[in-house]
Amino acid sequence: MPTDSIWLFTASVVAYFVVLLVPGLAVGLAAGLRGWTLAGLAPLFGYTVHGLTGPWLSGLGFAYTLWSALIATALFAAVVYAIRRYVENRWPERERPQQGLLPNWGRNAHLGVILCIGIAFVVSSVVLIAAAEGELDAIPQRWDPVFHANGIRYIAETGDGGLYGVSSVNRYGPEGSQFYPNAYHLAGSLVYMITGATVPTVINAMTLPIAGLFGLSMAALVRECGGRSVLAGAAALTAAAVNSGVYESISNGLVPFALSTAFTPLAPMIMHRYLVRPNVTNGMVLVLAAAGLLVVHSSALFAGLLFAVPMLIHRWWTESSTIGKDIKHLLPIAVAGGALTILQLLGALDQAAGAYGYRPWNSAKPIREALWHLFMFQHTAPYPQYVLVAFLVIGVLTYRRLNGLRWMTGAALIFGTFWMLVACWGGLSWVIVLSRPWWNDHFRMIALAMIPFSLLVAHGMAETQRWLAKVATERLPGFTKRRSAVRVGSAAAVVVVIGVASLGFYAPLNKEVVAHAYHKSKRDRAGEMGQIAVTPLEEKAMYKMAEIAEPGERVMNDRNDGSVWLYALTGVKSVAAHYDDNVPPKDAALLADHFREYPTNPEVRAAVKRLNIKHVFVGDGSRYPLVKPDLGLVGLDKADWVRVVYRNPDATIYEIDPKKLPSD
């Protein structure tokens, strides 16, 4: 059984940044972006390039490989550069880059923000590494990761960058596969091809910097909207500390959604940039950013648009003359964005009209409990983040000083209300309709609410620093003429005090939350959160299965045990490749219920022949929530038409014995 070293994990992290930043910086520089705007948008633009070119290459019959990705990046950047130079040459005055619109941060200010973002990345890394207990190739144990793991390996092995390929490992046959935006899987497949690491290592490497990316996005938003450097740095630190933001999503296996949450602040940032100076270049950047959000996760674009609503209301309230102009400028952006993402939009419509059933949550939390979770910055874990709460109070009381970001209070009200509706009245039909882009999921709604709440917390920190600096310069002898040193010293003092009071920006608390992703939290070990989905012995048996399996065969397995990871780990296809039993392939559904009738049921034998099944893998039947094994695989240990070829305490591999079966 392979075990990836710390060096291979590190190589995977480096490869992931290369995969994002090479295309992201190429496109951003070609579009004329510089500074914090470029830094914030580069990772998202990396996903834009992968998420758009993968399906296009598939439609044209080309495989998605390292070389085709590089060529596509070059072409993408060349087109963006050509458009920018054309419009700058034709309308030089209108397309001139904005000047004098951003605050004049000094060198120390920029360095301070960089330091805070660096801390955010370090905290993000420490949380994940500690949560996995150093097992950096540990298998994520929640519901969704196996789907994403299969998608990453599928693209790497087949080169199919299409929007229906990632689900075809589990949804196959005449019924067809399911649409899913695949930018995350395309990027992961490149990391897999570059490093040769196992798929769990690739997923963990892509998860490691999410909170840091969140902090970078928040800092870029503050910069673009005219905020102080102290606010930008505090926003980055808060993003790395808040529990119900990206960490809880990671804990529940919602990694692409957590990634989309980290990028969501960029939507209002770039829309603000475009509306302040509505030219073709900024419009193109807005279209690319919106496309990036859509290809990372469909709901991210909806969230970004919702964040834009209070920003537009605030802008129109203070400058009513801009309403008509803004609408006129945004309409062509919508048209261009729709044309650029037509494949994703058509896929989403196909998904909505398809047979895949929508199963809404029916959450009914008491109002008091839901409010507590929201304002204590924790949801499932019993660890209120009181330090953040204290600064939230300060931030709310001084919200008028947010200036260009004052509209964030409106965003907090909108997403806080959404959280309350989904958490307390999630079963109501109209709530289900409103929250459907987020699957009516209270985990997702509280994560989105944490974006404006985190900014208000950061504002409270920044105002505390302002007050300390004012007190020092006005009341302490010797500091009156050293204002720059006082500002730096007060900011450093606030960071140190918060870091100490929160025990390292809540890294231990967030580590315990993320540990649930690997079934390593204290509550997991105590048996409060169900049994582990993929046991080490099941994993060992799956690698043994890879040694036994014949080329082209599909292994019969139980959808409810760890064997759904068989393809992601070994490349051997199984009948069931996801825990999800919503609209399975007809053959898979038939065999799940009736496989043990193989000797007597011609339909079962026909399905086995169609799928080329030679072996059967039966694990320990556990996952969260614990369910019973598939009925069709119960009692095989007593059947005389299969023989055991491998067994350990958690898994058994059987071979179908053709000599003891009727011939059809």
pLDDT given for residue 590 in this prediction: 94
Separation of CA 558 from chain center: 28
CA distance 260 to 308: 16
In total, the chain counts a number of residues equal to 664
Helices (H), 136-265: 145-158, 183-195, 199-207, 210-224, 229-241, 248-251, 255-263
CA distance 250 to 210: 9
- Whether the per-residue pLDDT at 98 is higher than 90: the answer is no
C-beta of residue 516 within 8 angstroms of C-beta of residue 523: yes
- Whether the per-residue pLDDT at 221 is higher than 90: the answer is yes
C-beta of residue 581 within 8 angstroms of C-beta of residue 630: no
DSSP-derived letter for residue 128 is H
pLDDT higher at 206 or 308: 206
Nearby residues of 464 by Cβ (< 8 Å), 6 or more positions away: 391, 394, 494
pLDDT band at 553, cuts 50/70/90?
A: very high
Find residue 34's DSSP bridge partners. Answer: none
Give per-residue pLDDT as tens, 393-421: 999 999 999 988 999 999 999 999 999 99
Closest C-alpha to 611, from 175, 176, 164, 173 = 173
Find residue 644's DSSP bridge partners. Answer: 654
Give per-residue pLDDT as tens, 348-387: 777 766 656 667 778 889 999 999 999 999 887 778 999 9
pLDDT given for residue 626 in this prediction: 60
- Whether the per-residue pLDDT at 30 is higher than 90: the answer is yes
Q: What is the mean pLDDT of the chain?
A: 90
C-beta of residue 364 within 8 angstroms of C-beta of residue 426: yes
CA distance 199 to 137: 8
The verdict on whether omega for the bond into residue 310 sits within 30 degrees of 0, i.e. cis, is no
CA atoms within 13 A on the CB side of 384: 12
Give the mean model confidence (pLDDT) for residues 644-660: 89
C-beta of residue 24 within 8 angstroms of C-beta of residue 76: no
Query: What count of other Cβ atoms lies within 10 Å of the Cβ of residue 317?
Result: 10
Q: 157-192 burial, b if ≥16 CB within 10 A, otherwise e? A: ebbbbbbbbbbbbbbbeeeebbbbbbbbbbbbbbbb
pLDDT given for residue 140 in this prediction: 94
C-beta of residue 187 within 8 angstroms of C-beta of residue 46: yes
Joined together, the tokens standing for residue 151 give 């998608």
CA distance 613 to 576: 12
Give the mean model confidence (pLDDT) for residues 72-101: 83
pLDDT band at 97, cuts 50/70/90?
A: low
pLDDT given for residue 478 in this prediction: 58
Q: Report the percentage of the chain scoring pLDDT > 70.
A: 94
Sheet holding 556-557, edge to edge: 556-557, 615-618, 651-656, 642-648
- From 237-241, 260-264, 350-354, the region with the lowest mean pLDDT: 350-354
Helix (H, G, I), strand (E, B) or coil at 653: strand
pLDDT higher at 175 or 302: 302
Instruction: Concatenate the DSSP letters of all residues of 413-458 into one string.
Output: HHHHHHHHHHHHHTTSHHHHHHTGGGTT-HHHHHHHHHHHHHHHHH
- Whether the per-residue pLDDT at 461 is higher than 90: the answer is yes
pLDDT given for residue 211 in this prediction: 96
Give the mean model confidence (pLDDT) for residues 510-520: 93
Separation of CA 111 from chain center: 28
**pTM reported for the whole predicted model:** 0.94
pLDDT given for residue 490 in this prediction: 86
C-beta of residue 22 within 8 angstroms of C-beta of residue 73: yes
Find residue 616's DSSP bridge partners. Answer: 556, 654
Give per-residue pLDDT as tens, 593-643: 999 999 989 999 999 999 999 999 999 876 655 677 888 898 888 888 999
CA distance 662 to 664: 6
**C-alpha dihedral, 611 to 616 to 621 to 627, nearest 10°:** 30
Query: What count of other Cβ atoms lies within 10 Å of the Cβ of residue 54?
Result: 30
Separation of CA 341 from chain center: 19
- Whether the per-residue pLDDT at 26 is higher than 60: the answer is yes
pLDDT given for residue 592 in this prediction: 92
Q: 92-125 burial, b if ≥16 CB within 10 A, otherwise e? A: eeebeeeeeebeebeeebeebbebbbebbbbbbb
- From 89-93, 153-157, 182-186, 517-521, the region with the lowest mean pLDDT: 89-93
Ordered by where they begin, the domains of the chain are 6-97+105-394 (no CATH), 536-660 (3.40.50)
Burial class (CB in 10 A: 0-12, 13-18, 19+), 581: middle
The verdict on whether omega for the bond into residue 625 sits within 30 degrees of 0, i.e. cis, is yes
Q: Report the percentage of the chain scoring pLDDT > 90.
A: 67
pLDDT given for residue 513 in this prediction: 93
Find residue 654's DSSP bridge partners. Answer: 616, 644
CA distance 612 to 406: 62
- Whether the per-residue pLDDT at 479 is higher than 60: the answer is no
pLDDT given for residue 352 in this prediction: 65
Joined together, the tokens standing for residue 608 give 């086995």
Helix (H, G, I), strand (E, B) or coil at 527: coil
- Whether the per-residue pLDDT at 99 is higher than 60: the answer is no
Separation of CA 367 from chain center: 28
- Whether the per-residue pLDDT at 538 is higher than 90: the answer is yes
- From 238-242, 268-272, 334-338, 522-526, the region with the lowest mean pLDDT: 522-526
CA distance 334 to 7: 45
pLDDT given for residue 480 in this prediction: 55
Give per-residue pLDDT as tens, 601-610: 999 999 999 9
C-beta of residue 163 within 8 angstroms of C-beta of residue 53: no
CA distance 553 to 565: 16
- Whether the per-residue pLDDT at 582 is higher than 60: the answer is yes
- From 119-123, 353-357, 516-520, 535-539, the region with the lowest mean pLDDT: 353-357
pLDDT band at 101, cuts 50/70/90?
A: low
CA distance 109 to 117: 12
C-beta of residue 228 within 8 angstroms of C-beta of residue 403: no
Query: What count of other Cβ atoms lies within 10 Å of the Cβ of residue 21?
Result: 16
Is the backbone of residue 610 left (phi > 0), alpha (psi -120 to 50) or beta?
alpha
CA distances 642 to 70, 320, 542, 604, 625, Å, are 49, 77, 18, 15, 30
CA distance 389 to 384: 9
pLDDT given for residue 440 in this prediction: 84
C-beta of residue 384 within 8 angstroms of C-beta of residue 377: yes
pLDDT given for residue 581 in this prediction: 81
